[in-house]
Structures are given as structure tokens and as C-alpha cells.
Homo-oligomer: A and B are copies of this chain.
Amino acid sequence: MVISLITDFGNKDYFVGVMKGVILSICPNTNIVDISHEIEPHNIDEAGFVISKSYNFFPAGTVHLVVVDPGVGSSRKILMAKTKDYFFVMPDNGIISWILKNEEKIDVFELKKTNILTDSPSSTFHGRDIMAPVAAKIASEKSLKGLGIKTQNFIKTDTAIPKISVNKIEGQVIYYDHFGNLITNIHKNDYHNLCKNTGKKEASIKIAGKDIKKICKNYSEGTKKKLNAIWGSHEHLELFLKEGNAKADCNIDKKEKVEIIFKCKS
């Protein structure tokens, strides 16, 4: 059994360690894989992007646990989901939209069984007291049975998918990677579909008052000291400085608007 973890707890404290202790107490021999604990605190979109790009590289049956939970202690719900191959556990705050957009068939459940570890969970650490125990239970039983009820009623975020109109895709910067590249919510398929539908192939990219004329095939094709664009290994539109760090040098914040505008041929 594999359980993957994504949190905004950082690697300094004992928070992730105790979640693992709880998991191994309920489901011994779990292979626990850290995806990231360095999500920007409370950033739903970062967590969503990271789970959306990683979950389908894991073995079938993996339970993916995402604890980025600004609403902990409030009455926000906890969700579970099941696709053909995977299980998911996360707070009800929009993260699930990033999985929904990839999946044709997915069942979503509201967690009801919150007392697997303790009848008196803390109000500030549901990762340890509720969600890790649930993930371990699912890993151990390979089923969501008895844990919750099916629901259609959950929070959706509109940042998981860019806005697409006749001649334009309007997205935003959602993530900085380790190398300082700026990653957007615009997927290669969004672009290719629009190319196909409109018969147009020439497009330019606008961000923060800058125009980018082409999409590079690899990083070395970029122009130095200018912002360049590429489809990254994640298949999203990525903005980079050749041999530089776009995050550090370009002063572009997360949520900055990015547009791909197709040129009229006439």
C-alpha cells in the first residue's frame, strides 16, 4: 500500500512525522511517499496544481492525502474521492477541482467517520487527528466503505481551468518551481484544441505588459535577459529566464494574468 502526502507544514517541524506515525499505527507496512511539504501556507491552487501533476504516476490503489487546510477548526467538510485507480482525501476547499478536470469518472464523498484515531480531535491539527487516520484506513481496506456519503455538494475553484474564448486563452501564474520558473494554469491541450478549432496557429503571449512572440521547444532556445515561454514537462505553459531565475528577477506575482492571443489571419 502506498500513501502520498502533500502539505504546507514544511520540513522543519514534527507535524509530518506524527502523521506518518499515525498512518503506520493504523496500516503497518504502508510505503509513505512525500510529494511536497513546501506548499506555500494555505495556497489551495499550489496544492491543487501539485496533486494534479503527480497522482497518476503512482501505483494503482495509492491513497493521495492533501492537507492544505486554511479552514481547519471551522465547519468546513472533509472530502474523499475515488477514481478508477486512486483514492484521495482532502479538505473541502477547492483542491478537488484540480483532480476533477483530469477525470471523466470520479465519485466524491463527504467524510462522516471522523473518530478513527480519537473521539476528541484537536481543533488545529486535523491532518494528524482525522485525515491521516482516514487515509490509513482506506489504504488498509482498499475501500471507502463506511467512511462517508456520496455528495455533489462541494467547493469548486475556477483557477484550475483557464478562461477560453474564440481567439484567446486567459489564465494566470499559479506556481513557482525550484528553479524560479513561473508556471501557469494553461495546459498544452487548451492551446492545441483552440488551434484546431480556429484553424489558427500563430499566437502571442501577454503577461505583465510584456509580449512573448514564440513558444520555445527547449530551454536553450530562449533569449537571454528576456522572459521566454515553453511547454514544461508538466505540459503547462511555463515562463522562464534563460540561465536565470524568473521569480527572483521579473517581479511577477502568483495570480498575475497570462493571455494567449491568436492572431487574425485576414
A interface with B by C-beta (< 8 Å)? 2, 4, 6, 9-18, 20-22, 24-25, 28-38, 41, 50, 53-54, 57-59, 62, 73, 122-125, 128, 177-179, 217-219, 232-233
Contacts and interface: CB of A to CB of B under 8 A. Distances in A.
A14 B20 CA distance: 19
Contacts of A62: 21
B14 A36 contact: yes
B17 A233 contact: no
Nearest to A233: B125
B218 A123 contact: yes
Copies of this chain in its oligomeric complex = 3
Contacts of A41: 178-179
Given A122-B233, A124-B219, 17 more contacts: A2-B21, A11-B37, A11-B38, A12-B178, A14-B50, A17-B33, A17-B54, A18-B53, A20-B33, A22-B57, A24-B58, A24-B59, A32-B33, A41-B178, A57-B128, A73-B218, A123-B218
Contact of A18 (B54, B125, B219): B54
Given A41-B179, A124-B232, A233-B125, A13 B36 contact: yes
Contacts of A20: 33
Contacts of A28: 31, 59
12 contacts: A2-B24, A12-B36, A14-B53, A17-B54, A18-B57, A21-B54, A25-B57, A25-B59, A41-B179, A123-B218, A124-B219, A124-B232
Contacts of A2: 21, 24
A124 B230 CA distance: 11
A128 B12 CA distance: 21
A124 B177 CA distance: 14
A54 B17 CA distance: 7
